[in-house]
Structure 1
């Protein structure tokens, strides 16, 4: 009986982990962005804002995406107003990013990333790792196995050595 219960526990724990990154976001372009579609690929999830001192990092995020996308790497921008620095609507965010940064990376609608209203992905992230965005442009690198490979604060520039090294180690 003990072996049977242990096997059930291991199976349930494995299923819980496997489903952890199977979160769905609403896309700023309409429809959904399902992280399960990128299973087996590294994904950098970044909470963003249009009126932040770190907003110029959009250029670096696009450069990062352009550099590694052919290798299967994805950058997902998650606009959030949790720090009161996002524009009022998804359309304004989309236009702002297109005009100022010529972004073509995937982007969600304006999404809470902290506290009880946080998107389920961010609640999972905090439960799994204790990491919660402390400001805009925090970065979470999800490995091809669906586990958190690294987290970076706002100060980490997208094309900095720590970020690119973490990504390239997952692409090898």
Structure 2
């Protein structure tokens, strides 16, 4: 067999191997997504971008088997200091199965125009470590799928910092208005009950 023929065979084998591995990885990833979608409600079966980042997270994976607090936030609101309480709550309970997920929104005209400024308020001013999503709408026809679902189950946010306590992949939803702070006895009791289930 000629050397040139052997070289062509080797190159073909290498190229084939290079394409087989990514296809296998993609197939495994697709299978994982199918499995996730089977056990995940439609409103969570999506990927969203994190605040002021190119990184995306799958909400099914983020919230799977967790007690979740979804909250619509704003940087320039009288309730903005609730970030401190939400962060304390998250740190205290994340090892017990809690995840807090923040959704900045300008629906009430109190959010920064630029996500980098929103990120500064959250991460620098208040030291938030729980997941913050990209700025989106949380009410009306433009509401993101999460808040559209929460609104249908209970009520849409009437202001910033509405808190939604969600268990059983969204089967159970309780809402708490802006005036109910994260350390309010009513809220903490409901959260502890959810975490104990």
TM-score by length of 1: 0.84
SS in 2 for 1:110: coil
SS in 2 for 1:18: coil
Aligned to 1:47: 72
User: Aligned in 2, Cα 1:16/1:90: closer, same or farther, shift over 3 Å?
Assistant: same
The alpha carbon displacement at 1:43 in A equals 0.6
The alpha carbon displacement at 1:34 in A equals 2.4
Alignment coverage as a number of residue pairs:
157
Aligned to 1:10: none
* Aligned mates of 1:35, 1:148 — CA distance in 2: 17
Higher relative contact order (CA 8 A, sep 6+): 1
- Which residue of 46, 55, 59 corresponds with 1:31? 55
Cα root mean square deviation, aligned: 1.8
More helix by share: 2
User: Aligned in 2, Cα 1:130/1:169: closer, same or farther, shift over 3 Å?
Assistant: closer
Gapped regions of structure 1 (runs ≥ 5): 1-14
TM-score by length of 2: 0.74
Aligned to 2:158: 134
- Which residue of 113, 127, 131 corresponds with 1:102? 127
User: Aligned in 2, Cα 1:75/1:91: closer, same or farther, shift over 3 Å?
Assistant: same
2:175 pairs with 1:151: yes
Aligned to 1:5: none
The answer to whether the Cα contact below 8 Å between 1:139 and 1:151 also exists between their aligned partners in 2 is yes
